[in-house]
Amino acid sequence: MISEKQLAEEIQIIIQNAIREDVGEGDHSSLACIPENATGKAKLLVKDEGIIAGIHFAEQVFSYVDPSLKMEKLMQDGDPMSYGDIAFYISGSSRSILKAERLALNAMQRMSAIATKTHQFSSLLKDYKTQILDTRKTTPGFRAPEKQAVKIGGGENHRFALYDMIMLKDNHIDFAGGISEAIQKTLNYLKSKDLDLKIVVEARSLSEVEEILENEGVYRILLDNFNFEETKKAVELIDGKCLTESSGGITLETAQHYAECGVDYISSGALTHSVHNLDLSLKAI
């Protein structure tokens, strides 16, 4: 995964671009009717159930828009939330609060949905060694907060992007001429570039698992669309030689069954691509 410093830089780029997109030359609605020196206070009102996420992100948004704004936090990222809860108060320039409102809300609503979905998976897996992973199936331009939300919900991040882990999937393997060819070419590439990146290889069958195991240097085998019986056999075959990951349409209804097979990880794109924003609102008081 990328460093905390890189992640912080990604967040700042996202905030800068989102404010540019939303505010442009100015918030004319506020400029038209709110005096420049007017001050006010607003509360973040929860109107849903789940796990709250994005409070720290919202704090960064308000600070970027106007460093003089003051936030009083009543909740923290990762706390369970219920209808009627107040997550925080924000006070200061009324214009500044209104300028930052939409970005803060949009981010928190989506991040809370992702954290809630992730928490549902992680709660199901709490009695197993299996951990829930996200994927790169994220909203373009908003990956960093979405991956933060997965962590807040109790999950783990897969790679952040194409540059921080090698992942040889079906198309890589087919284009490279086969599993062993793809792995060997990758090892040679990493050596030539003096790169230290973990290698994950996708298997589509037990015979492909066997071929992967014939090669050195594989960190994790991704068992793609294996059924329960095939997954059990694959885990037995791998026998701790490298880590295991199940993927492919795994749901809350099937996650425990895959965990019972003994895999180290379950990855799910649904954590980020199939959630419905939770209902939060910012109300002037």
Catalytic sites, residue numbers: 102, 137, 169, 202, 224
- 110 Cβ neighbours under 8 A, 6+ residues apart: 54, 139, 142, 145, 146, 149, 275, 277
Q: Is 241 exposed, middle or buried (0-12, 13-18, 19+ CB in 10 A)?
A: exposed
Output the CA–CA distances (angstroms, integers) from residue 275 to 36, 153, 246, in the order listed: 39, 13, 21
| Whole-number Å distance between alpha carbons of 28 and 215 | 62
Name residues whose C-beta falls within 8 Å of residue 46's C-beta, 6 or more positions apart in sequence: 52, 81, 82, 83, 84, 85, 86, 87, 279, 280
CA angle 183, 197, 269 (to 5 degrees): 85
What is the torsional sign of CA 19, 25, 26, 28?
negative
- CB burial of 180-196 (b: ≥16 within 10 Å; e: otherwise) equals eebbeebbeeeeeeeee
Q: Measure the CA–CA gap between 225 and 266, rounded to whole angstroms.
A: 11
What tokens appear for 224 in the block? Answer: 């793609």
